[in-house]
Chains A and B, each alone.
Chain A
């Protein structure tokens, strides 16, 4: 499950990169995206997500890509904090709208921490972050039975650098649709 969701995220990033270089590839969500991850290692800083799909490329509404690219699947936290920043609230509001539109979708919210804490404390911190995102979605009217949480502490960094630019990307909660996607 974890690996598959990563594939999608990576695929989405590849897609953004592809937009910039104006070369479209329909298969971007799969193998080629993984290759980029392997070679590039560190992902770029959180890229601004387009408000609507670029012309000439169609993302199926209610798909994993739709969620990642058009809604935004992740929110970021300050160091050793689990409170939601205004940008995080905006993202979660968009997630709640999307989740209401596709009421069969179930998600897992993955909480993560940067490498600047001890392993066990960071597991607890990741759990706290995932729950801060969950609580906000519940407050926005999403049924808690649709929302699972899991913490990975500092075990699953997406950025491999050892500076604030990387750490800020790793302190995150990622909402991952697991089942109930239309057409799947």
Chain B
């Protein structure tokens, strides 16, 4: 199983994807640009026609349909696009070598049009050409060619969806990413939890551990194919590193107490975590190169769920030093601790946006759980969603979408259902991530390099 993943990841190396740019229409648009503003509260989804990519033969045609399907699904799940039903298309082009009949696309109300062509060359080479058109301005917005191995078709589709998203919204996309999370089965005190990884759209799902040890709270390294997480392996709860390429697992450090709540530093060179000993929980950092550890907090309270600011200068965490769980921010050396939440309720799991401008959190108030965001100084609190239990937000790498898990109680003491959801920063477009089993503790990867 590990070998499959390893091969899969290795095959994704940049060397195999060659992108080129081409322009058919020479003049750049002088008219108002086709654009979606992602910061607005409610956005009317942009109608886009994603034509099946043409193919030179049966295999290529099938890949062409699959690529179009993945692009459509990515764009639609973002909530910013509405893919027009292909049954409505009027005489879609049979060739990529001439301009589209824009009038036919205007009739079906397409604002944007995506076309492409797949060329299979032997067993080893797949050529993917793609264009994005502004239907009303009759302008080409993007033209790209990718050459890769055939098994990479799905990833190319995500890269194309990212390109469309970026061209039309002005924001970096997040479709060429993965999610690591905890897959759950079984009830109550027999719950089995496994590390699992999948593409952000749920495809390429793999289990990384076999469920023999309880595992919790995985997080991606920003710089290497590594995950840090917590495991009860050998009945000793502590923090581990998992190498996705090799499948190797390694306990981090030799602490005299339980270590948990690990996160990487933004440069990937450190892991911060909590250690609990003698009833007291403090935050520590460990340098992954020297393996030296440093204690960052010194308080008799519970200090946990630490998270670095994207520039590495500060750490947000939650502590009950005031009597209840609240959010605090300190310098990354542990100095200058400041409480930032004073609202009603308890605050937990602060996660800094990759843009640095917001902190997402879990809030518990009035018997409910909430996912919200606030500025790093604690002002401007905005709650995005709530429920019996929603917990553990994680940011898409462009800072526009949050993923979290939601537990829904089952009637009659039959336990609960736990699933992953994503929601836009605007509070709109909440969607369930389909997973084979119950799911919790999601962590969104950076854009795949």
- Using A118-B348, A150-B258, A151-B276 as known contacts, say yes or no to A125 and B302 having CB atoms under 8 A apart: yes
Surface stretch bound by A, among B16-24, B104-112, B409-417, B431-439: B409-417
**Contacting pair A120 B389 (CB below 8 A):** no
Q: How far is the CA of A80 from the CA of B322 in the complex (A)?
A: 13
* Candidates B191, B276, B362, B415; contact of A155 at CB < 8 Å: B191
CB-CB under 8 A for A158 and B188, given A118-B362, A119-B216 = yes
**With contacts A2-B235, A117-B364, A119-B391 known, is A155 near B409, CB below 8 A?**
no
Asked if B135 is at the interface (CB within 8 A of a chain A CB), the reply is no
Q: In whole angstroms, how far apart are the Cα atoms of A161 and B261 in the complex?
A: 27
- A60 within 8 Å of B (CB atoms): no
Task: Name the segment of A22-30, A48-56, A84-92, A128-136 touching the other chain.
Answer: A128-136
New A-B contacts (6) at CB < 8 Å, excluding given A117-B364, A127-B276, A151-B276: A80-B320, A118-B318, A120-B304, A120-B305, A155-B216, A166-B413
Could you tell me if A123 and B258 are in contact, using CB atoms closer than 8 angstroms? yes
Pairwise interchain contact A131-B413, C-beta atoms closer than 8 A = no
B422 contacts the other chain (Cβ, under 8 Å)?
A: no
Assembly CA distance A127 to B362 (angstroms) = 21
Give 7 nearest A-B pairs by CB, closest first: A131-B279, A127-B276, A124-B281, A118-B348, A162-B409, A42-B413, A120-B261
A121 touches B302 (CB 8 A): yes
Nearest CB in chain B to that of A135: its residue: B279
Contacts of A135 in B (CB 8 A): 279
A155/B413 in contact, CB under 8 A: no
Q: How large is the interface on A (under 10, 10 to 19, 20 to 34, 35 or more residues)?
A: 20 to 34
A1 to B278, CA, bound (A): 22
How far, in whole Å, are A128 and B258 apart by their CA atoms in the complex? 11
> From residue A44, how far is it (CB to closest CB) to chain B in Å?
11
Across-interface contacts of A115 in B (CB, < 8 A): 389, 407
B147 at interface, CB cutoff 8 A = no
Q: How far is the CA of A101 from the CA of B193 in the complex (A)?
A: 39
Asked whether A157 is an interface residue with its Cβ less than 8 Å from the other chain, the reply is: yes
Within 8 A of B (CB), among A66-123: 80, 82, 115-121, 123
A residues less than 8 Å from B187 (CB atoms): 41, 160
Q: How far does the Cβ of A70 sit from chain B's closest Cβ, in whole Å?
A: 23
The residue in B279, B305, B364 that gathers the most chain A C-beta atoms within 10 A of its C-beta is B279
**Which residues of A lie under 8 Å from residue B391 when comparing CB positions?**
118-119
A149 to B258, CA, bound (A): 10
Once the chains are docked, how many angstroms separate the CA of A125 from the CA of B235? 18
Distance in Å from the Cβ of A121 to the closest Cβ of chain B?
Answer: 6
Interface assignment of B237: CB less than 8 Å from any CB of chain A: yes
Which residues of B does A touch, CB under 8 Å? 187-189, 191, 193, 214, 216-217, 235, 237, 257-258, 260-261, 274, 276, 278-281, 302, 304-305, 318, 320, 324-325, 346, 348-349, 362, 364, 388-389, 391-392, 407, 409, 413-416, 440-441
Using Cβ atoms and an 8 Å threshold, which residues of chain B touch A157?
Answer: 188-189
B392–A119 contact, CB under 8 A? yes
| Nearest A residue (CB) for B301 | A124
In the complex, are the beta carbons of A124 and B302 less than 8 A apart? yes
B279→A121 contact, CB < 8 A: no
Which one of B235, B260, B414, B415 contacts A120 once the chains associate, using CB atoms below 8 Å?
Answer: B260
In the complex, which residues of chain A have a beta carbon less than 8 angstroms from the beta carbon of B237? Answer: 123, 150-151
Cα(A131)–Cα(B304), bound, Å: 18
B414 touches A80 (CB 8 A): no
Cross-interface CB contact of A119 among B191, B217, B257, cutoff 8 Å = B217
**A115 CB → nearest B CB, Å:** 7
Question: A116-B364, A118-B349 given as contacts; is B279 within 8 A of A127 (CB)?
Answer: yes
How far apart are the CA atoms of A176 and B53 in the complex, in Å?
A: 63
Q: Which residues of B contact A150 (CB under 8 A)?
A: 235, 237, 258
Q: How far is the CA of A158 from the CA of B258 in the complex (A)?
A: 22
Per the bound structure, the CA–CA distance linking A161 and B410 in Å amounts to 9
Digit string of A1-12 for contact with B (CB within 8 Å is 1, else 0)? 110001000000
Partner of B274, one of A2, A116, A124, A166: A124
Question: Known contacts being A80-B324, A132-B279, A162-B388, is A120 close to B214, with CB within 8 Å?
Answer: no
**Complex Cα spacing A85 to B441, Å:** 33
Known: A41-B413, A128-B279. A6 touches B260 (CB 8 A): no
Shortest beta-carbon distance from B103 to chain A in Å: 56
In the complex, how many angstroms separate the beta carbon of B417 from the nearest chain A beta carbon? Answer: 12
Asked if residues B413 and A161 are in contact (CB atoms below 8 Å), the reply is: yes
Q: How far is the CB of B443 from chain A (nearest CB, A)?
A: 13
CB distance from B192 to the nearest CB of A (A): 11
Question: Is B188 within 8 A of A121, CB to CB?
Answer: no
Q: Counting chain A CB atoms within 10 Å of each CB, which of B189, B274, B324 scores highest?
A: B189
- In Å, the complex CA distance between A123 and B276 comes to 9
A2 to chain B: closest CB distance in Å? 7
Measured CA separation A118–B405 after assembly (Å): 11
Q: How far is the CA of A116 from the CA of B348 in the complex (A)?
A: 12
Q: Is the CB of A120 within 8 A of B217?
A: yes
Interface pair A6/B235, CB less than 8 Å apart: no
Q: How far is the CA of A28 from the CA of B189 in the complex (A)?
A: 20
In the complex, residue of chain A having the shortest beta-carbon distance to the beta carbon of B325: A121
CA A118 to CA B320, docked complex, whole Å: 13
Given contacts A42-B413, A131-B278, A162-B409, contact A121 B389 (CB under 8 A): no
Q: Which A residues are in CB contact (< 8 Å) with B279?
A: 82, 127-128, 131-132, 135
Contacts of A160 in B (CB 8 A): 187-188, 413-415
Task: Determine the chain B residues whose CB is within 8 A of the CB of A42 once the complex forms.
Answer: 413
- A171 shortest CB reach to chain B, Å: 14
User: For the complex, what is the distance from the CA of A157 to the CA of B190, rounded to whole Å?
Assistant: 9
> Which residues of chain B are near A156, meaning CB under 8 Å?
188-189, 191
